[in-house]
Amino acid sequence: MLRVGVLKEIKKNEGRVALCPEGVLALTSQGIEVAVESGAGDGCSCPDEMFVEAGATIFPSAEKLLKNAELIVKVLPVSPVEAELITDAHMVFSFLKLNPTGDRLKPLINSNTVYFGADLLEDDQGAHPILEAISEVDGRMAVHVAANLLSVSQGGKGILLSGADVIAPANVTIIGSGLIGRVSAVQAWTNGANVSMLSLKPENIESYDIIRDGLMIQEFTPEKLKELLPKTDILIVSVYSLRNPVMDFIINKELINLLTPGSVVIDLSVEQNPVIETSHVTDINQPTYIVNNIVHYCVPNISATVPLTSSKIYTKKITPYIELLAKNGLKNALTKSPELLSALAIYKGKITNRILADRFGHTFNNIFDLLELNL
């Protein structure tokens, strides 16, 4: 069996952990050894003692852990610093969170490791269960954060999302009809707001049964956006697709300036698909800034603001796949699980996922051909 290693996330203000103690217990109860880097769960109220009780061995550093584990699990993509420590003896399972340039692939290719992208994992219905689980948290948090930012203490215009008595509710415009957009729309509507969703995929308009009084989904057009922005209090943007990452539009500063002072922009696409000219990446410590009296919130890992909830969801979703890999090894696990096969991104420097190969101009390699050649 492969020994599982849980690395501590090194990004500033990132408190999530790839496996909570209950996930560790699920593995150790099956005879799988689990190593955890000391402090890996501190940011989500899971101290080392809880991992020890679940049967894990604690290691004081990433270097020592990596010498004692083969299957490495993380939440965030492997950083260049971490990639220098990872070798061809390791398998890694984490999110890839690809940016437009694909430069995050380079250190992973160079490390010659085997890499699984949690966001690539696809079930037999064409859904991405791990990505969608975290996206649901993102969508809910987007509305929660936006409602708070409307208060004057945060630079907002001082209105209540739901309205009150004879006071009208806030108007929320959402660009993007993926899961984050849909969850945000329903969350905002449930909290009393008027919601307009603009879909860049016309086929989604009829397939999503979320039309109700005060919640509309329409096809995105520049004209429709210009019409909505002057009366929008909250603008939420979430436009990203694994297969079609390039968006042929930009929301320039002239369009953003159509918002009235104190309006709020929640840009969840800022890192992976930047479309708002006035946006730049922020972090949990300093999440907002103001441009022309418009509050901008541009934290790409918004689910990290609720690290315990996010970690528990991620743990629940990935544990069956980690168990499968640990018990069976790479080839047998891939044979048993088409879902796991869909998540395999890189095998010893070669791209083994067709989405990545097509998107970034790499040669696609069939993993079973590579394994037969013993490469």
Q: Which of 282, 300, 318 is the endpoint of a domain?
A: 300
Phi, psi of 289 (to 5 degrees): -150, 165
Residue 245, pLDDT score? 55
Identify whether 295 is part of a domain.
yes
Identify whether 125 is part of a domain.
no
Residues 48 and 162 in one domain: no
> Residue 350 to residues 186, 329, 370: CA-CA distances in angstroms?
41, 19, 9
Q: Could you tell me the CATH number of the domain that includes residue 240?
A: 3.40.50.720
Residues 350 and 259 in one domain: no
d(CA 2, CA 84): 21
Residue 243, pLDDT score? 65
Identify whether 126 is part of a domain.
no
Residues 289 and 357 in one domain: no
Identify whether 195 is part of a domain.
yes
Identify whether 168 is part of a domain.
yes
Tell me the residue range of the domain where 210 lies: 135-300
User: Is 375's pLDDT higher than 50?
Assistant: no
Confidence category of residue 201, pLDDT binned at 50, 70, 90: confident
User: Is 207's pLDDT higher than 80?
Assistant: no
Q: Is 164 exposed, middle or buried (0-12, 13-18, 19+ CB in 10 A)?
A: exposed
User: Is 280's pLDDT higher than 80?
Assistant: yes
User: Is 246's pLDDT higher than 60?
Assistant: no
Identify whether 106 is part of a domain.
yes
Using alpha carbons, select from 358, 374, 334 the residue that is nearest to residue 116: 334
Residues 188 and 295 in one domain: yes
Residues 45 and 96 in one domain: yes
Residues 240 and 274 in one domain: yes
Residue 103, pLDDT score? 77
Q: Which of 300, 324, 343 is the endpoint of a domain?
A: 300
Residue 161, pLDDT score? 94
pLDDT tens-digit profile of 89-121?
999 999 988 776 777 788 888 888 999 999 999
Sheet with 34-37, edge to edge strand ranges: 57-59, 34-37, 4-6, 71-73, 91-94, 114-117, 344-347, 350-351
- The total of structural domains in the chain comes to 2
Q: Which of 275, 300, 325 is the endpoint of a domain?
A: 300
Identify whether 315 is part of a domain.
yes
Residues 295 and 317 in one domain: no
Residues 314 and 292 in one domain: no
What does the block give as tokens for 371?
């394994």
Residues 19 and 157 in one domain: no
Residues 38 and 86 in one domain: yes
Residues 162 and 282 in one domain: yes
Identify whether 130 is part of a domain.
no
Residues 233 and 167 in one domain: yes
